[in-house]
Amino acid sequence: MQFFSGFSLKNEEYLFTPYIKRSDFTVCGFSYGAIRALEYVQEALKQKKRVDTLQLFSPAFFQTKDEKFKRLQLMSYKKNKELYLENFINFCFEPYERKIVEFNSSDTIDELKRLLEYEWDLEALKKIIDAGVIIEVYLGFEDKIIDAEGAYSFFKQVTNVTSIKKANHFLQLS
């Protein structure tokens, strides 16, 4: 199993244990890691590698947000990276108790810009499904980070989406 972490994070996989399918042929990604997981699967399929399942946990979905929102995120990050990341993590856990997460200090403003500007592509997802890969999307509807309703509407066009009504960005219920 391959897991891709969210922006500025590492080792948060434990938070998704109830959902992860443990298999050599499963690829998972959380938030920004969902984008990286998708790209990993696309490359694996080009190389004729076996992938059975792609699991996307709270995929970074900002394509419904306006440019003002995206600029504000980038400006805040540039102004004070540590404060930005602290606030970001706190919002990820709202409205529930914060759990322990590790920061990956190697993520950059370019990666933040990339995740904010990323456009999910229905045709790319359909190609993966046509190759025999099952795509599972998990969303928390108390998510304070992404547009969970927009993501639900988008992803349900091509796959089943598990929406957890009272869950946050980390899919926690309490």
* 174 residues of the chain, pLDDT tens digit each: 999 999 999 999 999 999 999 999 999 999 999 999 999 999 999 999 999 999 999 999 999 999 999 999 999 999 999 999 999 999 999 999 999 999 988 878 999 999 999 999 999 999 999 999 999 999 999 999 999 999 999 999 999 999 999 999 999 997
Rg (CA), the chain: 15
Residue ranges of domains in the chain? 2-164
Q: Is the pTM of this model over 0.85?
A: yes
The domain 2-164 having CATH identifier 3.60.20.40: the answer here is no
Q: How is the chain split among helix, strand and coil, in percent rounded to 5?
A: 40, 15, 45
Which pLDDT belongs to residue 106? 82
